[in-house]
Structure 1
Amino acid sequence: HDSSVRKLLFIMAQWHGLAKLRLHTDATLELLDRTTTLLGVQVRYFATHTCEAFQTFELEKEAAARKRRTDAQVSGLNGGSGNGTGARRPKAYSLRTYKWHALGDYVEMIRTLGPTDGFSTELV
């Protein structure tokens, strides 16, 4: 799994460097587009092969926070103390987030709006 992680980190670093360029040419945008495709392939491989080989759990502080929330909700409902379990839940890696979905739009947005440092989404 070591080579899979190293390859993913290299492609992510390359993608990040290309995406943050302040001046793009057709060649750099083409390279970013190809790197985006490679990143998608590699992250899917990582999710299906590397992540599946390991059983991961939420952090202890996440479990403790969840227990405190549950205890507070239960004690608020019945006036007694809660008995929420502090057991750590399994956590699986998910590709179903907007950040992965939006990667494919970067090149087109750079072509349309320019480099990512040249505009702001802040209301004026």
Structure 2
Amino acid sequence: IPSFGRETIRRFSNNVSELKQLAARDYEDLLQCAIPVFDGLLPEPHNTSILSLLYTCGEWHGLAKLRMQTDSTLQLMTNETTQLGNRLRHFADVTCEAFDTKELRREVAARNRRQGQNQPQQPIQSSEVGPSPGARQRKYHLRTIKHHFLGDNVNHIRRFGTTDSISTE
């Protein structure tokens, strides 16, 4: 997907899964471009499920980013947060379970490096080599702090104001 405008959507790598140290603006750009990229990538009903999730994420992000909130926009955001939670649970329980996902190459390499550092140095006594640790199965789960705090965003805005007053973006 090409860049758009001077400062609207910046150019990003062809292999987004290999990107590291992304800033908030990078995630925002990826979210804005994700729907046409994912459309038709997976078979039905998973295609519709992912597109609905991405659209809901975009709506929620748009509401969360408003610089001025009213009671009606906060109510919309409350409803959208509920919808986002429902779609995330459906994604985790149905869509993700339908696919066998594995670690990325860089995750395997990092794990192997960590395991190599943790093992004591011993002289090699035989030519037998243990099994090469490959990519492990990865499952998507909602047990993260980011997912947990999504539901607190509306109360946070009511209590402290909009995020533009505290954001570093």
Report the TM-score, using the length of structure 2 for normalisation: 0.65
2:164 match: 117
Secondary structure of the structure 1 residue equivalent to 2:89: helix
Identity of aligned residues (%): 47
1:39 match: 84
Does structure 2 retain, via aligned residues, the 8 Å contact 1:67–1:84? no
1:60 match: 105
Counterpart amino acid of residue 110 in structure 1: I
2:154 match: 107
Structure-to-structure mapping, 1:72-87, within 5 angstroms: 72-74=117-119, 77-80=120-123, 85-87=132-134
Taking the aligned partners of 2:87 and 2:166, their CA distance within structure 1 comes to: 30
Give 5+ residue unaligned stretches, structure 1: none
1:50 match: 95
Deviation at 1:8, TM superposition (A): 0.3
Taking the aligned partners of 1:80 and 1:29, their CA distance within structure 2 comes to: 64
Give 5+ residue unaligned stretches, structure 2: 1-45
Counterpart amino acid of residue 98 in structure 1: I
Q: Which has the higher contact order (CA 8 A, sep 6+)?
A: 1
Taking the aligned partners of 1:65 and 1:119, their CA distance within structure 2 comes to: 34
Deviation at 1:65, TM superposition (A): 1.7
**CA RMSD of the aligned region, Å?**
1.9
* Equivalent pairs, count: 119
Does structure 2 retain, via aligned residues, the 8 Å contact 1:36–1:104? yes
1:6 match: 51
Taking the aligned partners of 1:18 and 1:120, their CA distance within structure 2 comes to: 15
Counterpart amino acid of residue 140 in structure 2: Y
Question: Which structure has the highest helix share of the two?
Answer: 1
